[in-house]
Structure 1
Amino acid sequence: MTEPSREIPTAPGARPVIGHLLPFVKQPFTFLSQLPEHGDLVKIRLGPKTAVVVCDPGLTRKVLIDDRTFDKGGLFLDREREWLGESVATCTHSKHRHKRRLAQPAFHPRRLADYAHTMTTQIASVVDGWQSGRVLDVCPEMFTITSKVFGAAMFSSTLPAGVLHEVIGDLTATFDGTFQRTLLPDVISRLPIPSTRRYNHANRRLRTTMNGIIAERRASGIDNGDLLSALLTVHDRESEAPGTIDDDVSDAVVTFFVAGTETTSSALAWVLYVLAENPDIEARLHAEVDTVLAGRRPEYVDLERLSVASRIVTETLRLYPPAWFFTRKVTADVELGPYELPVGSTVAVSPYLIHRRADLYDDPGRFDPDRWLPERTASPPGALLPFGGGARKCIGETFGMTEVVLALVIIASRWRVETVPGTSMRPPLSVSLVPGGLRLRVVDRRAGG
């Protein structure tokens, strides 16, 4: 057995005090994409904080599968707990089984057909209101779709317009604030400066909004057969205080709302972006939709026949994974590849980095949905991570994929999307990879334009 090395290579370009903070903030995706040139594990410094970035798919898979040694925690996740609490997505290994048992019934496969019907109704309620030639501010528009979908699936009702507007603002402030608070010294996060006040206010109001909805459901005593009812049923069966609202339920609702709206809307926005940039592939999608659906709305049973749509979504998630960078905390001394990681180390995983390795994907920057055809060579284990992996893989993966594919198909049934000359798009540095500033024109296919 080879003796583990003691020194993990450090990425070049570190400056005194700030380390690699400048390139990470200014051009994070370029910076990350260059790290594999320096090794399978590469150390980066973000101010006073250090993380080991895993650049190899096999080692990445090991990190994700061994969730006891590589536990939830580290730079960004510790900050996310400030507003998501100890949910199934953020809790430590010791609490995960209980948290997942609480949430699992809400995402049981037998519920998906009902959820799909809810999804199509809510998606169409937004998409059918578009006007041909309208220029969409894509990210807010997609958030409107996903919030209506998730509101109906989670609560059996959509959020009022005023509440929805508040929630959008609160999520934006919280997501952006999470990243800023991670990269800045802790002392700044405690100062009463405007950004800190915005973050704290958004955090409190978001939690209050969700708890208010839960309280209304508790007071009604009605089981609506939705996600919230499933959560409350399991909670009451296992809790020592049934009928209450404790952190388990509150944390789960906030986490699922964030995942079901913010990250899903980001994925859907990127899907429309790649379609506008690739009209030949959009034409193939239109042909499939017209053939399979013949003018009707999609149903859950149609998904297996909508293979072009599914491959478009998978390829978009490869190029633009919403969860583009996350961390784990080492709980015991461990060997990872040829290196020794001491307890307490922060390990970082970047699906964006892995998904764009040229040794894993031919021409990795090119949008090619056909790379996911069954007859094409499958990606190696650990090479496709839009939903994470191992026991901590996203519990809502199938729900999210179903929603994005259905939304894509409903949009493509009627609309063509076009780029808008003179507009620019720049992803902000945030927890989720979002095409900030993206504007696209929608054209009604029925008008022949």
Structure 2
Amino acid sequence: MTATAAFGDAPGAWPLLGHLPQLAGRPLAFLDALPAHGDVVRVRLGRRTMHVVHEPGLVRQILTDRHVFDRGGVLYDKVRAVIGNGLATCPNAEHLWQRRALQPAFRRSLTERYAATMAAETEALTARWRPGQVVDLTRESFRLTTAVAVRTLFSAGISDRAAEELRAALDVLMSGVYTRVVAPAVDLVPSPARGRYRRALAAWHTGVAEIITAYRAAGTDHGDALSLLLSARDADGRPLTDADLCDQVATLVLAGAETTSSTLAWALRLLAADPRSGDRLHAEADTVLDGRPARYADLPALPFTADVIREVLRLYPPAWAITRTAVHDTELAGRPLPAGSVVMCCLYLVHRRAALFQDADRFRPARWTDGDIPRDAFLPFGLGATKCIGDVFGMTEATLALASIAARWQLTPATSRPPRPAPRLVLSPGPLPMRLTARRAA
């Protein structure tokens, strides 16, 4: 299939701006229209050209051929300005030693301990909910997953105020960095948004630096991710600098907060629009949990809950757009691709290909038990050596949180307006006002 992949150009480019207005305003509507123009679609970002790829064989080629395609170029430069040169953004040459440094923090033996924190934070969040209350589910989910990320990363504990300051800064940064990727000139124009972004960036770096300093001064091994990083060594055998540590902390908090919160918010909103799946989820939660929070040991008994999360990851994968830059002249499906060319593997489109999934645009969790999923058809955490290191962590957290909420609460949309995804690094559903109905007392 890759040898005969169809090439095309995205229509509707603006003079000078190209397709930046569409990507900044309604990114999903723009992406949904691209398959009609080919498997590889050229998109203009101002004066630059990007090749959007959604054919599975080509995606595998790009994400696994590390000698030809690297994490570089202007897009990664903008992301690194926020989260630094950590595991999620570093060039291929630095990736191996960084992954080895972080891997111990994601041992399966630690997952049960992390799950206890996930359950406790979910219970703390929902304890503040009241029947009849309307909550912004996107914000509540982000509050939950940020708390989990911070508590598992810094198990020695930080103040509630410090945790809230990190969460607030990250919220601003995750919106701001996407804007800077699709509109690099935004920092040249004075505006209140630019001021908020710069203050958030400063607050983030200050807050993380203070935590790192406190850990160094204590000299105690807490057995958490930061303690492991403090004892890690780089490729030359040297301990990580404070700047290196700050970059890795940013990566871990981003992976543990932004991605999982989006998945959880989408899950609850999609279930509200699909009563049959919602009833099945509640029945499973009632049978297994009987009103109590979900624990790590419950995961094998929650298969449909996990299928809901998989289906959300299929429709709205956190790593929806993975970019790579060709480091030397090469070919893509038999066509020349000059060095410096930027390609975007659009997993959002891969997961919605009609040839791979029946009713590909429909939310149908039951599909995961109905039949086989083709190879390379489901890549929510990426592929190859740079696949997300926290995939098990994220699946565990999302499954436990969804089951715990379903055991006690029914959520219904407080408005008839459909979700309008917000332009962030992940496919966030944007504000989701949802009304709470208690299914049983805590």
Residue 371 of structure 1 deviates from its aligned partner by 0.9
Q: Please, which of 203, 206, 225 is the counterpart of residue 205 of structure 1? A: 203
2:222 corresponds to: 224
Structure 1 residue identity aligned to 2:168: G
Contact 1:415–1:444 at 8 Å: present in 2 too?
A: yes
Cα offset, 1:39, TM superposition? 1.8
Aligned-pair CA distance for 1:191: 4.9
1:369 aligned counterpart, secondary structure: coil
Structure 1, residues 139-180: CA drift from partner, whole Å, max 9, x if none? 221122112212221111565443344333322322222222
Tell me which residue corresponds to 1:214.
212
Are 1:253 and 2:249 counterparts? yes
The answer to whether structure 1 residue 333 and structure 2 residue 329 are counterparts is yes
Which consecutive residues of structure 2, in runs of 5 or more, have no partner in the other structure? none
Could you tell me how far apart the structure 1 residues matched to 2:363 and 2:344 are? 26
Quote the offset at 1:369 in angstroms: 0.5
Structure 1: 5+ residue stretches without partners: none
Which structure 1 residue ranges, 4+ long, deviate > 6 Å from structure 2?
2-5
Aligned-partner Cα distance in 1 for 2:334–2:236: 44
Provide the residue aligned with 1:319 in structure 2. Answer: 315
1:409-424 alignment to 2 at 5 Å?
A: 409-422=403-416
Asked whether the equivalents of residues 7 and 37 of structure 2 are also in contact (C-alpha less than 8 Å), the reply is no
Q: CA deviation at 1:8?
A: 5.0
Q: Name 1:79's counterpart in structure 2.
A: 78
TM-score normalized with structure 2 length: 0.93
- Find the counterpart in structure 2 of residue 348 from structure 1: 344
Supply the distance in 2 between the matched residues of 1:237 and 1:89 (Cα, whole angstroms): 17
- State the partner residue of 1:405: 399
Question: 1:106: how far off?
Answer: 0.5
Moved more, 136-145 or 150-159: 150-159
Offset, 1:396: 0.6
Q: Is contact 2:122-2:144 (8 Å) kept?
A: yes
Report how far residue 347 of structure 1 moved.
0.4
- Confirm whether residue 377 of structure 1 aligns to residue 372 of structure 2: yes
Report 1:278-317 matches (<5 A): 278-317=274-313
Counterpart CA distance in 1 for 2:56 and 2:274 is 29
Partner of 1:394: 388
Report what 2:258 is aligned to. Answer: 262
1:51 aligns with 2:50: yes
Question: Who is 1:275 aligned against?
Answer: 271
Residue 424 of structure 1 deviates from its aligned partner by: 5.4
The letter of the residue matching 1:394 is C
Contact (CA 8 Å) 2:156, 2:222: kept in 1 or not?
Answer: no
8 Å CA contact 1:170–1:202 kept in 2: the answer is yes
How many angstroms apart in 1 are the aligned matches of 2:417 and 2:41?
A: 36
Structure 1 residue 25: Cα displacement: 2.9
Q: Distance in 2 between matches of 1:236 and 1:115?
A: 26
Query: Counterpart of 1:148?
Result: 147
Shift of 1:324: 2.1
Please tell me the residue identity of whatever aligns with 2:195.
R
Quickly say closer, same or farther: Cα 1:399–1:61, change in 2 above 3 A: same
Q: Give the Cα–Cα distance (whole angstroms) in 2 for the partners of residues 237 and 76 of structure 1.
A: 26
In structure 2, relative to structure 1, the CA distance for the partners of 1:194 and 1:344 (3 Å cut) is same
Check conservation: 1:25, 1:429, Cα contact below 8 A: yes
For 1:163 and 1:171, the matched residues in 2 are separated by: 12
Separation of aligned partners in 1, 2:253 and 2:215: 16
Look up the equivalent residue of 2:220 and give its one-letter code.
I
CA contact (8 A) 2:291 2:440 kept: no
Asked if the contact 2:57–2:376 (Cα under 8 Å) also holds between the matched residues in 1, the reply is yes
**What is the distance in 2 between the residues matched to 1:402 and 1:4?**
39
The answer (yes or no) to whether the contact 1:105–1:231 under 8 Å persists in 2 is no
Q: Is the 8 A contact 2:97 2:235 kept in 1?
A: no
CA RMSD of aligned residues (A): 2.5
Contact 1:387 1:393 in 2 (8 A): yes
Give the CA deviation at 1:239. 4.6
Structure 1 Cα separation of the partners of residues 142 and 3 of structure 2: 51
**Does residue 1:439 correspond to 2:418, yes or no?**
no
Correspondence 1:364 to 2:360: yes
How far residue 90 of structure 1 moved from its aligned partner, in angstroms, is 0.3
How has the CA–CA distance of structure 1 residues 74 and 358 changed in structure 2, closer, same or farther, with 3 Å as cutoff?
farther
Tell me how far 1:311 sits from its aligned partner.
0.2
How far the C-alpha of 1:318 sits from its partner, in A, is 1.0
Q: Tell me, yes or no, if the aligned pair for 2:97 and 2:234 is still in contact at 8 Å.
A: no
Helix, strand or coil at the partner of 1:426: coil
Deviations 1:42-98 (A, max 9, x none): 110021221001021111111111133111124432211112111111000100011
**2-side partners of 1:310 and 1:47: how far apart?**
41
Find the aligned partners of 1:321 and 1:329 in 2 and give their Cα distance.
21
Say which SS state the counterpart of residue 23 (structure 1) adopts. helix
Tell me the distance in 2 between the aligned counterparts of 1:17 and 1:246.
41
158-167 or 264-273: which moved more? 158-167
Name the SS for the 1:314 alignment partner. helix
Per the TM alignment, residue 3 of structure 1 is displaced from its structure 2 partner at its CA by: 10
**Corresponding pairs, count:** 441
TM-score, normalised by the number of residues in structure 1: 0.91
State the one-letter code of the partner of 2:141: M
In the other structure, the counterpart of 1:35 is: 34
Deviations 1:390-412 (A, max 9, x none): 11111111001100001011111
Provide the C-alpha distance between the structure 2 equivalents of 1:366 and 1:191, rounded to a whole number of angstroms: 41
Alignment of 1:51-200 (within 5 A): 51-156=50-155, 160-186=159-185, 188-200=186-198
Q: How far apart are the structure 1 equivalents of 2:61 and 2:440?
A: 50
Shift of residue 332 of structure 1? Answer: 1.7
CA 1:121–1:128 in 2, change beyond 3 Å: closer, same or farther?
same
